[in-house]
């Protein structure tokens, strides 16, 4: 299967109504494929200004944004158009400051049984190579603090750890560690983190970093803590620099035991890893 087929494996865009988060100039689901709406943190015009000097973004092909996600939450933004049959988010979840809160907010605009299709970078194949896998404790802290922006620790960790390989920030084969080069110096990492903490600058970073295995371990822990209301509908391991997870929104009218059982039953056949119900 190619990349698009994996992302759409649980979807039928021509028959469903969906939402894509952050499509920029390269949406997974185009309007020609079906009824889809686009959400981003900026308007189309602001995105064109932001990326005008970025050669990897064709500003003329940036999609018409339907919803600007910021002050209002998704249920308020989408109104009567929700609930949706699916939400697509490619290289988005790693950027959100509150991972658990973000998943819960997306759940609110999905029909029971609706699909959240995620494409997630594997840190072993990108600039996050030397960063530690995201820890459950950090995810819990961000959730309890209702984090709206990355922490100073996350900013510094990103700047001080980011690497490139032969000038590239992602790659499709195991890297040669001795050939990885820091993108920022130690002093630059400190300077940029200081400026951001003082509100003198902004930067878009990966708040969370995963391998395919560490993501599944985090998912299992969040299930055990009753903090996630999805089951795994489809899972494709890392290919290139990313892996693919389709999460099915659980019906909250079911009792807690039924929902947890459904989650654990979905784990083994989709991932090959069998968690314990203990």
What is the pLDDT, as a whole number, of residue 265? 87
Token digits of residue 80: 């009567």
Please tell me the pTM assigned to this model: 0.93
DSSP H/E element including 118: strand 110-121
| Contact partners, residue 276, CB within 8 Å, separation at least 6 | none
What is the pLDDT, as a whole number, of residue 70? 83
What residue spans define the domains of the chain? Answer: 3-123+208-271, 125-197
Dihedral, 89, 54, 201, 148 alpha carbons, nearest 10: -10
What is the tens place of the pLDDT at every residue in 98-127? 999 999 999 999 999 999 999 999 999 999
Indicate whether 276 pLDDT > 60.
no
Indicate whether 268 pLDDT > 70.
no
Indicate whether 232 pLDDT > 70.
yes
Indicate whether 270 pLDDT > 60.
no
What's phi and psi for 95, nearest 5 deg? -95, -20
| 91 DSSP 8-state letter | S
What's the average model confidence in pLDDT over 195-207? 94
Q: Would you tell me which CATH number, out of the four given (3.40.50.150, 3.30.365.10, 3.40.50.410, 3.40.50.300), belongs to the domain 3-123+208-271?
A: 3.40.50.150
């Amino acid at each position: 299967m190619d990349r698009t087929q994996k992302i759409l494996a649980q979807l039928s865009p021509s028959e469903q109504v969906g939402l894509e988060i952050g499509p920029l100039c390269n949406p997974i689901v185009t309007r020609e494929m079906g009824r889809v709406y686009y959400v981003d943190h900026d308007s189309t015009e602001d995105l064109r200004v932001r990326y005008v000097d970025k050669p990897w973004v064709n500003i003329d092909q940036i999609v018409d944004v339907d919803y600007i996600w910021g002050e209002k939450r998704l249920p308020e933004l989408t109104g009567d158009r929700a609930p949706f049959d699916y939400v697509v988010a490619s290289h988005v979840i790693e950027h959100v400051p509150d991972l658990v809160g973000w998943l819960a907010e997306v759940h609110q605009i999905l029909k029971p049984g609706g699909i959240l299709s995620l494409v997630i970078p594997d840190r072993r194949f990108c600039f996050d190579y030397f960063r530690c896998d995201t820890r459950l404790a950090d995810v819990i802290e961000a959730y309890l603090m209702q984090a709206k922006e990355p922490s100073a620790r996350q900013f510094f960790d990103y700047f001080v750890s980011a690497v490139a390989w032969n000038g590239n920030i992602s790659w499709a084969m195991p890297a040669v560690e001795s050939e990885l080069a820091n993108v920022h110096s130690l002093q630059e990492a400190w300077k940029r983190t200081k400026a951001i903490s003082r509100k003198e600058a902004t930067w878009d970073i990966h708040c969370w970093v995963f391998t395919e295995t560490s993501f599944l371990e985090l998912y299992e822990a969040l299930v055990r803590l009753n903090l996630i209301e999805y089951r795994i509908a489809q899972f494709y391991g890392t290919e290139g620099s990313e892996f693919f997870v389709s999460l099915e929104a659980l019906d909250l009218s079911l009792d807690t035991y039924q929902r947890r059982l459904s989650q654990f039953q979905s784990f083994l056949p989709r991932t090959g890893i069998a968690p314990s119900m203990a």
